[in-house]
Each structure stands twice: as C-alpha cells, then as structure tokens.
A and B are shown apart, each in its own frame.
Chain A
Amino acid sequence: MSKEIAILGVGMHPWGKWGHNFVQYGVAAAREALEDAGVPWQDITYVSGGATIRNGYPGYVAGATFAQALGWQGAEVNTSYAACASGSQALAAARNKILAGECEVALVVGADTTPKGFLAPAGGYRPDDPDWVRFYLGITNPTYFALYARRRMDLYGDTLADFAAVKVKNSLAGSKNPRARYRKCFTAEDVAASAMVADPLRLMDICATSDGGAAMIVSSLEYARKIGKADAPRVAAISLVTPTFASSVVEMPDIATDSAAAEGVQAQAYRASLPVKAYEEAGIGPSDVDLAEVYDLSTALELDWIEDLQLAPRGEAAALLRAGDTALGGKIPVNVSGGLACFGEAVPAQALAQVCELTWQLRGQAGDRQVQGARVGITANQGLFGHGSSVVVKK
C-alpha cells in the first residue's frame, strides 16, 4: 500500500512584521489553500494545526482555533507542538489519519506572530531550566549558530565570503518571491557592513523572526483522482526522528552535549540523521533530488544542511556554492524560496512554508524562481529539544 498522500492546494499569508493576531495569518493561508485545491471548507474532515507556545500562549490550541475561525463545521482537530518541526508534525498527523482511512481530505495550517529581538526565558533563579541557565551565562541563540559556522571555517576552510555568498544567493531568489518578507537584493558588501553579532556571523548572516502563516490541503490519492487532481504533488516521506544517543553537537538550549563515554555508544550528529529516514521512506537517494528547502537559521548553517542532506560530501558544500550549483539554474538549487534569510522564522508555519514552496516548484508555478523540470524536492529543519523534520515531495 502506498504511503503517499496528495497535496491538493497550498497557501501562505505573506511573511512580515504585521503585528496582527496569528489566527488572521492562518485563516488567510487556509482560505488560499482551500481555493487552490478547489475543495470547499465544508468537505474538510480533519484540521491539523501547528502550535506556538512562545507567543500564541498555550490557551490558543491551534487546530481548534483555526477551525473556529474558519467556522465550526464538526471536523476532527489535532494540535502539534514540536518547536520548528511543528508544521511537519501537524502534516504527519494528517497523513496518518488519511492513510488509516479515517479521513479523505484534511487542512494543515500553522501561523505565528513573533516578538522583537532576543527570545528570552522567564526570570527568577531556575537552574533546572536549560534556557534560563544559558541566558544567565551569556549564551544566546546566535552563539550556537556561530559555533557551527566557526567550526566550518577552522575545519573546512570556509570563509566569511562564502557565508556572505549564501545571503546574496538567497536574497536574489527571495527578490522573486512575493510572499517573502525581505525582497531586497543584498550584496557581499552589505553583509560585510552589517554589525558582528557572534563572530563570525554578522547581523545579515542570521535570520530574523517574522509573522506568517502557511497551509495546505492534503488528501488520499483516491480522493485526488476523484476530483481530477491525480497528478498533484505527493508527500512521499516525513521524517520526525529524534537524535540518537550520544548526540555529539552542542544544541540549543543545552550547555553540554551527551557523553559518549559508555561502551558501545558512539557520538552521532543529529541533523545528518534526519534526512536518512526521509530518503529511505521515499525510496530515493540524494542524487534523485532536484531542489531542497533547508533551515538557514544562519548562512553557514545552509552549508551544513547541504552536507547533512548528502548533496555534497562533508566539508564540500562551499565548493558547490562557489560553483553556483546551489543557485537558481544550478545543479541542485537550495532555498529558491529565499529561505529563512528572506522570510525570517515564523516557527509553526515555517516547515509548512517549505513544503508549499516545493509544491509550487513541482507544479511549475514558481514564476521567476522556477527550477526547470523539478520532480523531487526535500525539506530539512531543526528546532529545540530534539525536534526536527525532513519531508520529501515528489510528482
């Protein structure tokens, strides 16, 4: 039995700093996805929402909040919270329901309104909270991205110019995306002139936080055929694996890694393990991939992801970048949406936004940023507390 489901429609509220309630973005994205799918809201029998706790407080149970805003019609609901992988987890919940034969067509939606500046923990003296500990000791989010970036420089010879080139590449792609928040074409000089935040990363190497909403209508393949959309792009795999002990890379918000001192235990990198299950489940390999949407929380992190997705051998992503292979028109375009560099992160919507982009690309509807002949795309993202995801979409 096929484990695939069809993506009938996608929609996004443009990313920005709009200052509205997140529900508004989710509803706009959902309505666009419904219209794109040609499926009436009344026919949706499952609503799966990606939730944020950071801002939309826990009372806002996302699935039900979106269902109420669109008008209660008796659908079943689900809410997923998995940090940056929330959207993928919400999509996985809908897929499970569809593959179990309990639902024909579902709405998956995530949206966020984010605060300005550093994301800070609650106060007091709370050494049991790793987030409190690291902020107290002066370790913020950019610290982690900068540690990974510096390691690339010292180990592989990556340069500041390479990191800037990622920003330049993504901003050029994002300038062609009407849903992106930042659509200015930045130059290497612009990046170099921006303030140093966490050496070697400058302000323009690090992604912002944004308001935004993304949604999709997914269904069984049979339902897709029934409504004349048998050729719709399909979700071929969703990987939501945890790290495997001992996790070797120091990850936000921890102050230390696992220890790999015990017999029979090996140090293992989490990011690289995420796509392994996705490739296996989709029955494809890295050479089958036409484009990738990866979580470029920093410019340097995009290079890590390229290697984690096995699109380049370890340490060689910068060579791919320098050859223009990861740009639009290159051999393996990465972040043709503009990536987080142009969107800024809207946590529960971001993993879904990646899938939306792949859907437009595979349908040949990406306009000036179209990857010619795209048939297979993969996403990758990672967030706090061992949450991450990788989704394969194919025609």
Chain B
Amino acid sequence: MSQKPQVPAIEGWHTMAAKPHLIGTQCASCGTYFFPKQNDYCRNPQCDSTDFREVELSRTGQIWSYTNACYKPPAPFVANEPFEPYAIAAVQLEKEQMVVLGQVVEGVSVEDLKVGMSMELVLEALHETDDDIKVTWKWQPVAQ
C-alpha cells in the first residue's frame, strides 16, 4: 500500500470523511440544488436569486442507469496500465431530485447492477502522481 497522501482529484467537490458527501450549493431563495457548485445565478427560471449556501448532498440514492468503459478514455483521464474496464452509474438523489454520475468502485461490474438499486458515495483512487494519490467520489452498492 502506497504511503502517499490522499488528495481530492478535483478540489472542493466532496468532503474527505470516511462517509463522504459531494459538496454542492443550494439556492437560498427557491431551494434548488446545484452540483457542481453554483454561486452566481439560480438556473430555476422562476428565481433570480444570487444568494447560495454550500451544502453536503445526500450520500445515498438509487441507480437511474449504469454502464461501463471498456476502452481507455483519452486525457485528461489517467489510466492504469494495463487498462481495466470500470463501471459507471448515474444515481438519483431523492431529496435533491437530481442525478449524479460517477464511476462505480473497483470490483463491481455491470452484471452486479440494476436500475433502482441503492448506492452510496465512497472515495477511491482515480490515479496516482509522483507526490500523492488523487481520490474521487465513486458509487458503491449499499450492503444488504
């Protein structure tokens, strides 16, 4: 196991806790959520607020759909050699009424997934650099 420090692949998009949350914003006026964060204008056409608060999004939801990546994506993706396919899930968050994409944790394949299945947010390595391990959010089936 590498001793390198773990740092977020994208700064400020999720907490680094054992039970991590995505960090979004919520419109202080109409309650619309945004991920990635939106701090300048509310995209609800019935709202012209410019006032937002940072919020942690629900860390569990249901699968809206899922797939995998059988081919190595181009840069800026950083692939391990040899490239190992990974699953991807789009997960519906109930309270926020939105769908968020993410990779599925290593070891879980499309055969293990189904629309409607409960998933939770975890952190896992996206890639390693000379100095650190870049981690990102991934979806993991909720243990039954």
Contact partners of A121 in chain B: CB under 8 A: 76
A283 in contact (CB, < 8 A): no
Q: Are B69 and A154 within 8 A (Cβ)?
A: no
A150, A245, A248: the one contacting B44 at CB < 8 Å is A245
B53 in contact (CB, < 8 A): no
Instruction: Using A140-B73, A256-B35 as known contacts, say yes or no to A146 and B98 having CB atoms under 8 A apart.
Output: no
Instruction: Using A138-B88, A245-B45 as known contacts, say yes or no to A198 and B101 having CB atoms under 8 A apart.
Output: no
The SS class assigned to the B binding surface is loop
Q: Are A259 and B102 within 8 A (Cβ)?
A: no
Instruction: Using A154-B65, A262-B30, A262-B47 as known contacts, say yes or no to A250 and B99 having CB atoms under 8 A apart.
Output: yes
Q: Are B76 and A135 within 8 A (Cβ)?
A: yes
Q: Are A148 and B31 within 8 A (Cβ)?
A: no
Provide the bound-state CA to CA distance between A122 and B64, in Å. 30
Provide the bound-state CA to CA distance between A300 and B30, in Å. 37
Q: Are B74 and A250 within 8 A (Cβ)?
A: no
In the assembled complex, the CB of B143 is this many whole angstroms from the nearest CB of chain A, namely: 22
Q: Are A197 and B71 within 8 A (Cβ)?
A: yes
Provide the bound-state CA to CA distance between A149 and B103, in Å. 18
Closest to A246 in B: B97
Closest to B138 in A: A137
B36, B46, B97: the one contacting A255 at CB < 8 Å is B36
The SS class assigned to the A binding surface is loop
Instruction: Using A135-B74, A262-B47, A265-B46 as known contacts, say yes or no to A150 and B67 having CB atoms under 8 A apart.
Output: yes
Q: Are A134 and B33 within 8 A (Cβ)?
A: no
Q: Are B90 and A147 within 8 A (Cβ)?
A: yes
In the assembled complex, the CB of A250 is this many whole angstroms from the nearest CB of chain B, namely: 5
In the assembled complex, the CB of B83 is this many whole angstroms from the nearest CB of chain A, namely: 10
Closest to B74 in A: A120
Instruction: Using A138-B86, A197-B70, A262-B44 as known contacts, say yes or no to A250 and B10 having CB atoms under 8 A apart.
Output: no
Closest to A244 in B: B45
Within 8 A of B (CB), among A116-162: 117-118, 120-121, 123-124, 127, 132-140, 142-143, 146-151, 154-155
Instruction: Using A117-B74, A258-B98, A261-B97 as known contacts, say yes or no to A127 and B10 having CB atoms under 8 A apart.
Output: yes
Q: Are B88 and A143 within 8 A (Cβ)?
A: yes
Q: Are B77 and A150 within 8 A (Cβ)?
A: no
Provide the bound-state CA to CA distance between A135 and B9, in Å. 13
A147, A256, A263: the one contacting B31 at CB < 8 Å is A263
A133, A146, A151, A246: the one contacting B115 at CB < 8 Å is A151
A257 in contact (CB, < 8 A): yes
Q: Are A261 and B96 within 8 A (Cβ)?
A: yes
B4 in contact (CB, < 8 A): no
Q: Are A260 and B101 within 8 A (Cβ)?
A: no
A193 in contact (CB, < 8 A): no
B126 in contact (CB, < 8 A): yes
Contact partners of A264 in chain B: CB under 8 A: 46
Contact partners of B68 in chain A: CB under 8 A: 146, 198-199
Q: Which of A117, A118, A139 is most buried by chain B, counting CB atoms within 10 A of its CB? A: A139
CB within 8 Å of A: which residues of B?
Answer: 9-11, 13, 27, 30-36, 43-47, 64-71, 73-77, 86, 88, 90, 95-103, 110, 114-116, 126, 136
What are 26 contact pairs spanning A and B, CB under 8 A?
A: A127-B36, A137-B136, A139-B69, A139-B88, A139-B101, A140-B71, A142-B67, A143-B67, A143-B69, A151-B115, A197-B71, A201-B67, A250-B101, A255-B101, A255-B102, A256-B35, A257-B98, A257-B100, A258-B43, A259-B96, A259-B98, A261-B31, A262-B30, A262-B31, A265-B30, A267-B97
